[in-house]
Homo-oligomer: A and B are copies of this chain.
Amino acid sequence: RFGLAEKEDQIGVVTGLAYTSVGGELLSIEALRLPGKGRMKTTGKLGDVMKESIDAASSYVRSISPQLGIKPPQFERWDIHVHVPEGATPKDGPSAGLAMVTSIVSVLTQIPVRKDIAMTGEVTLRGNALAIGGLKEKLLAALRGGVKTVLIPQENEKDLPEIPDNVKQGLEIIPVSHVSEVLEHALVRKPEPVEWDEAAEEAAAAAAAAKAGGEAGSSATAH
């Protein structure tokens, strides 16, 4: 099944696009959410740059978590494992950043990812999409693998004239400049935001703690 688009919408499974000396390839990215302590585990013979891009994706997701319906303290109760099969093939580079964000958002929100979409693009800590290399090879691999829609960084729009017409006809190519657009296209439904007023939460927690302490104190002296 490798080298083909996914057969059904799945939670945490995203199709990325890799580019090697021998051409483009589909890259299946899998995230899993496990009961834990806020740790991030990565496997799949990933190079340092790809591991860092998972770190950046993870921090970005944490920074927008209320928009995803997740209160920040919940992060401390889960571990996330990101795996990129096939385990014996070395993978590296920052261009799976958008896919990493999508995969992590999907497992955290438990919203499936559309099965016939693929994506490529580096991501910044603010969720901006940065240009990638090997666009032609990646689009060819997407077409070959039965992908219908490909999200690419807006910064790569300048490379579209060099893409063969049959590729542009066979794929819906959507330039994006920010993760928000990626999630709109890739998730089967929109996450529901939750209110999170950090200052208010902190104040409430502090008040509760103070009250508990104070009462315990007054109890201790009163009876």
Task: Give chain A's interface residues, CB within 8 Å of chain B.
Answer: 1-2, 10, 12-13, 28, 30-32, 34-35, 41, 43-45, 48-49, 52-53, 55-56, 59-60, 62-63, 72-73, 75, 81, 83, 85-88, 93-94, 97, 122, 124-126, 128, 130-131, 155, 198, 211-213, 215-221, 223
Contacts and interface: CB of A to CB of B under 8 A. Distances in A.
A107 to B, nearest CB: 10
8 contacts: A28-B124, A31-B125, A35-B198, A44-B52, A59-B83, A83-B124, A87-B94, A215-B221
A207 to B, nearest CB: 13
A208 B65 CA distance: 27
Residue among A53, A125, A155, A211 having the largest count of chain B Cβ atoms under 10 Å = A125
Chain A interface, >50% SS class: mixed
Nearest to A124: B85
A52 B43 contact: yes
7 closest residue pairs by CB, A with B: A87-B94, A219-B220, A43-B52, A30-B125, A215-B220, A35-B72, A59-B81
B220 A218 contact: yes
B32 A63 contact: yes
A13 B88 contact: no
Nearest to A1: B155
Copy number in the complex reads 6
Given A34-B63, A49-B88, A1 B128 contact: yes
Contacts of A155: 1-2
Contacts of A88: 49, 93-94, 122
A85 B10 contact: no
Contacts of A53: 43, 87
A209 B98 CA distance: 39
Contact of A126 (B2, B10, B44, B198): B10
Nearest to A54: B43
B94 A52 contact: no
